[in-house]
Structure 1
Amino acid sequence: MSSPVERFRELLRIPTVSHVDPGRVDLAAFDAFHDALERLYPRIHAALEREVVSDHALLYRWRGASDADPLVLMAHMDVVPVVAEEWQHPPFAADLTGTGATIHARGAIDDKGALVAIMEAVEALLADGTTPSHDVYLAFGHDEEIGGTGAQAIVDVLHARGVRPALVIDEGGAVVRGAVPGVSAPTAMIGVAERGILSLGLTVPERGGHASTPPAMPATARLARAIDRLRRRPFPRRLAPPVRAMLATAAPHASRSLRPVLRRLDRFGPLLARVLSRLGPELNAIVRTTAVVTELSGSDGQNVLATRARATVDIRLLTGDTVDSAVAHVRRAVADPLVEIDVLRGSDPSAVSPWRGDSWQRIARAVRVSLGDDVVPLPYLQLGASDSRWFTRISDAVYRFAPFTLSADERAALHSHDERIGVDTWLRGIEFYRAVILDR
């Protein structure tokens, strides 16, 4: 029988790639992934109830002694596209390097690492004859990377059945060092909320014509001015409640000089927000709503004036901001009625889950048991979006944490080339999910 690592590698080799264009999605790869799960985890498919939701999302139910207060373990089977020539190892070969110490593959962390670790934990517990004290659901989306319709459909199913989870755990933060300045201990960054998403279109129309006779303010120049004005007028800095919780929880573990500051956020909060905004992109993103232009378009010809110059602005909303308040800020910053501003898509920040109480303590216990007594569980604000945001509709305790110890370089490889995970790191993640299920 194959080992956990070999099963993981087999599933990593299946290119379940999401594309915004549905015509580019290879649905056969998702079917193959389903088939492989069924073959590799026979006990799960014999003992758990399984259903396919929204074509390719998967929902499993492991009946426990009680159907009240169930646990939901989430992950997604889709991965982002690759540029193969940028990789040192083929992205879907799941190569082992360093005498089997590291697995290289798209999805090794985001997010097949969690999905397969969950399956391994449940399969092993079934082999031990375990019956959970409460129902356990496994919810695996198939299109998280392009919006998460599968996860939304799963929530619809659970809501219709009156299922209200006591705890939901999805991908998110990891075990890292240096996430909070002045804290040297390893920290388990457990997302209690995530920022909202807003895409705006900035459009400047004009008559067009030959580029040899441009107007004084062509559409491209007006658009460039609007973009620069937005860059020069960033959203204000502040410490949102999840960030305050992170800093306050970190205070006992901080350096002596920083400890008094973190313990007096009522007094030092504005100063700390200003300092954090200057310490790099990640820390800046936890203290303000961010906005960046990601797409630009103008004329189709080198000597033709654009009839429509257009930019897309990606905005990530800090807890407390809304789609409406962000649009108002952009209008004020651009300050030009000839620049049309349209909402392409938008969702407000998620609700904030508690960083105290039974659900939080259950995760904290699992961290200590599986990842080490020296690891400090910290609440934090997740910067990116995940499928978990849909589950806040049916649960007040939704958390975002992948139980893997990751370096800065490993985190930087997410959605980039050379994604990889250490074998020992991944195996410890299996123990985390086992500990969460058993809650001991």
Structure 2
Amino acid sequence: GCPALVEELSRRGVKPWLVCDEGGGIYTDPMMGIKGNFAMIGVSEKGRANVRFTARGKGGHASTPQKNSPIARLAAFVCDVEKHCPFRSEMEPETRAMLEALAPAASFPFRLILENLWLFGYPITWFTPMINGQAAAMLRTTITFTMASGSNACNVMPREATLGANMRFVHHQDMEESLAVIKKAAQKYDLEMEVLQGGPCTKTVDIKGEVYHYIEETVKKTFPNCISSPYVLTAATDATFYEKICDNCIRFAPIVYGPEEKKGIHGVNEALRYDCLPGAVDFFKNLITDNHAGNEAE
């Protein structure tokens, strides 16, 4: 529905000042050592692609095994990539701004580290992706292996085995470069790579601009004790479609996500607490009626 709606709005010459979709939210205790509720305002999305890797071989019967079979090469490739990540870690401006915004609420020693990113920025960028998947997703391109297939019998070696993966690209190592990096890694194991579906990183909303400031002010009015922070979304939203007609696509749902709610997103027992709904309603009322910029809300 979104592509058709965007086309119709474009045909009518409508150019929204702001698009506000889901993505970010009000997260309770968003990171280790940081306590409280924080409005994580999504200002961009990572790019993404579904990729298939194929290994070919002669096949045969399992009673006479061969070295470097298709499945063995795929397995070696997966182990190599997961043990030695080929993608470059870097702290982008929005991620740095997020950590700086969260710093005052951090406990020692995290506060000391986050308030001195000029000193600790490089160690954070280099070390934390090794121990924390959330940090890795913020700092570099990621690849997750999700599907595999081989022969249809345990005693038959396949002539062809495949492996599916989902990739998420960062702005500093975009879709083209990241795909080239993983293709080179796959070629070491004589694997073919095919991009099934994909799209680049989205545009980034200016965190010093009028629209982002307006969202911050609306959060402050609605949730006075909540600190706002920019946030690069690692998932995907429909806001991407609206970038054709809007320069300021914000990913933020004014819903409080506690630890249990975060664990349930797209999983078992996905739910929201009913007592967070009044605040969400108030946020959107304020967003529409308190137009600080003097523009008509669209």
The residue that corresponds to 1:341 in the other structure is 193
Identity score, percent: 30
Q: After the TM superposition, which residues 5-404 of structure 1 pair with which residues of structure 2 at under 5 Å, given as runs? A: 150-234=1-85, 235-255=87-107, 257-259=109-111, 261-278=113-130, 280-336=132-188, 338-370=190-222, 372-404=223-255
Question: Quick one: higher RCO (CA 8 Å, sep 6+), 1 or 2?
Answer: 2
Q: After the TM superposition, which residues 424-439 of structure 1 pair with which residues of structure 2 at under 5 Å, given as runs? A: 424-439=275-290
**Structure 2 CA distance for aligned equivalents of residues 400 and 392 of structure 1:** 12
Q: Contact (CA 8 Å) 2:202, 2:240: kept in 1 or not?
A: yes
CA drift of 1:337 comes to 5.9
CA drift of 1:419 comes to 1.3
**TM-score, normalised via structure 1 length:** 0.62
With 394-403 and 249-258 compared, the bigger mean Cα shift is at: 249-258
Deviations 1:334-361 (A, max 9, x none): 3426210111111111111011232112
Length, aligned pairs only:
290
**Structure 1 CA distance for aligned equivalents of residues 212 and 81 of structure 2:** 39
Deviations 1:101-138 (A, max 9, x none): xxxxxxxxxxxxxxxxxxxxxxxxxxxxxxxxxxxxxx
**Structure 2 CA distance for aligned equivalents of residues 202 and 366 of structure 1:** 46
Structure 1 residue identity aligned to 2:175:
V
CA drift of 1:284 comes to 2.3
Q: Does the C-alpha gap of structure 1 residues 320 and 155 become closer, same or farther in structure 2, counting only changes over 3 Å?
A: farther
Structure 2 residue identity aligned to 1:385:
A
Q: Contact (CA 8 Å) 1:176, 1:405: kept in 2 or not?
A: yes
Deviations 1:1-28 (A, max 9, x none): xxxxxxxxxxxxxxxxxxxxxxxxxxxx
**Structure 1 CA distance for aligned equivalents of residues 290 and 173 of structure 2:** 36
Q: Contact (CA 8 Å) 1:163, 1:394: kept in 2 or not?
A: yes
Q: Does the C-alpha gap of structure 1 residues 184 and 216 become closer, same or farther in structure 2, counting only changes over 3 Å?
A: closer
**Structure 1 CA distance for aligned equivalents of residues 100 and 265 of structure 2:** 29
CA drift of 1:195 comes to 0.9
Q: Contact (CA 8 Å) 1:170, 1:399: kept in 2 or not?
A: yes
**Structure 1 CA distance for aligned equivalents of residues 75 and 188 of structure 2:** 12
Structure 2 residue identity aligned to 1:350:
T
**Structure 2 CA distance for aligned equivalents of residues 221 and 323 of structure 1:** 28
**Structure 2 CA distance for aligned equivalents of residues 415 and 240 of structure 1:** 27
Structure 1 residue identity aligned to 2:185:
A
**Structure 1 CA distance for aligned equivalents of residues 54 and 130 of structure 2:** 31
**Structure 1 CA distance for aligned equivalents of residues 84 and 188 of structure 2:** 14
The residue that corresponds to 1:6 in the other structure is none
CA drift of 1:184 comes to 2.7
**Structure 2 CA distance for aligned equivalents of residues 278 and 205 of structure 1:** 32
CA RMSD of aligned residues (A): 2.0
CA drift of 1:182 comes to 4.2
The residue that corresponds to 1:117 in the other structure is none
Q: Contact (CA 8 Å) 2:24, 2:233: kept in 1 or not?
A: yes
**Structure 2 CA distance for aligned equivalents of residues 436 and 373 of structure 1:** 15
Deviations 1:130-159 (A, max 9, x none): xxxxxxxxxxxxxxxxxxxx2222222222
Q: Contact (CA 8 Å) 1:320, 1:349: kept in 2 or not?
A: no
CA drift of 1:288 comes to 1.6
The residue that corresponds to 1:113 in the other structure is none
CA drift of 1:279 comes to 5.1
CA drift of 1:275 comes to 4.3
